[in-house]
Structure 1
Amino acid sequence: MNILITGATGFVGKHLVAKLTEHKLTVLSRDINHAAKVLGTHHTFIEDISQLSHLNNFDAVINLAGEPIVAKRWTKNQKIRICHSRWDITQNLSQLIASSQHPPKTFISASAIGYYGRQGQEPVDEHSQFHDEFSHQICQKWEQLALEADSSTTRVCIPRIGIVLGKNGGALSKMLPPFKLGLGGPIGKGKQGMSWIHQDDLVALIIWMLTTPTTRGIYNATAPNPVSNAEFSSALGKALNRPAKIIAPPLALRLAMGEMSELLTEGQYVLPSHALSEGFTFKFTDVNSALAAIV
């Protein structure tokens, strides 16, 4: 397949690229030299989407681009960057697909479980209602813009991605330092849900969507067994052979991180009902074994 991919140098993207060796990849990146260094020089690179007037030559598009949501404090300007880094590229890709005489057969465009907003203790799946807050607002428009490309010739798949666990990046890179020192532990009472997915399973899920013609629509990209923050903290401490008893006060996080702290103090128990019902098999379904394999 000839595949156009955005966000290829990110934590998920570079591992996905490594698994797509049998395909021809065109990488859209603002920094071609960096992308070539990270991914290899054998790919085709495009610096700006304005270089494309159609997508007739592509069999599929995978869109993983977006400003990291926890990179900086959520100032007004940072919120705008977070939104438009996702919305603008997705809108441009949908418009290019619509203007193609022979459009790509598949458009996989990332979203996040932030779509659901805070959900308390009740499990949610793809049919559940949402809580209207900033994370939902990002994802709702992000998905809407991607779904504009859906047609009889192009199927759109949207993975709502949970907390991705893997080596050398992602959520664990921020969690590991205090836990390695024995200073980790739950946030507040630790009852908030943590819907995680092993990096290998996320990459496999995206490739499954790419290669399974019957897939279409929204898929929760989370392992079948979400856990509480307290359970996750205990599992990470166990994997590192360190205690994980020090409680992080939600108020301190709020003072340090502002509104962004709600990503840690609130949560969801998200189930991948759609993928499971269509036959996708997760390799890592237990957080203890997943963390042990990584750490």
Structure 2
Amino acid sequence: DEVAPTCLPLHYSYGMSVLNSHLLRGASVVIEGSGMLGRGFWTAVRQHKITSLAGVPYHYEMLRRLRFDPARYPSLRTLTQAGGRLRPELVAHFNEAMRAVGGRMFVMYGQTEAAPRMATLPAERLADKLGSVGPALPGGKFSIRDDAGVETTDAQVTGEVIYRGPNVMMGYAESETELAFGDETGGTLSTGDIGHLDEDGYLYLTGRLKRIGKIFGNRVNLDDVELLARSTGSDIAAVAAVPADDKVVLYLEGAPERLCRCVASTLSERLHLNATGFDVRSIDALPLLANGKLDYPTLERRTLERDA
């Protein structure tokens, strides 16, 4: 009797996992193209008696602003969240809202390379493990690789999250020849995420190791974003992109406000993402390291301080 809508793109692994899991169990899927923030979507929720919703952090941020109340939709009993870190206060808010109507909320963690789920925080542990994405799924295992390259499962050690499990991909193939290479990963995935385990083996994520950002749950290469920004006009002296909560912040050296707006619009058009996901700011001079390279850590700290 489970009914889920297509509120996530099917080319996105999270959206595809919702479709596949429901079809595998003989449940129903409602094809609804208006999007979770559209009026037609909520009409469909009532009409088809939708039982679960899957969203990324941006969706839940918007639902909070819209004062979403699950009590208005009696059939709805489950919320799931993945695609990036949702603010703990919002996790607590939606968990309490669902519990008030006898429902549940699940926070999950995954990557496309792991088909795509690696962890789920049980609904009954959400309150006392707030901020965690849960333990590894059955058959999987997390470890942490510290700065010295040593892997450990000890609690409170921060480093890159390593996942091992039967759901890890065989590798990347960009040609017909590479398709014949066989399993190149051995079931091990270096996630590029930074985090730590607690004493119960629950994972807490704290950041990204690689130059990858997320905009409304969509992964973007920050170096590619910089290249696209530079292509907007020859009057862009220098640009640096850093990740923020569900958006990318770009710093343009000596840029007027008009150019900042133009860059945000161009990136939105090129990458097919809402322009609000690109926070373009002017800066007098980009900070540099002693070797002349951009000082990204300083920019990230500046971003956190301003957005705090």
Q: TM-score band, normalised by the shorter chain? A: 0.3 to 0.5
TM-score after normalising by structure 1: 0.39
- Could you say which structure has the greater relative contact order, defined with CA pairs below 8 angstroms and 6 or more residues apart? 1
Which structure carries more strand by proportion? 2
TM-score after normalising by structure 2: 0.38
Q: Give the number of the structure whose alpha-carbon radius of gyration is greater.
A: 2
Which structure carries more helix by proportion? 1
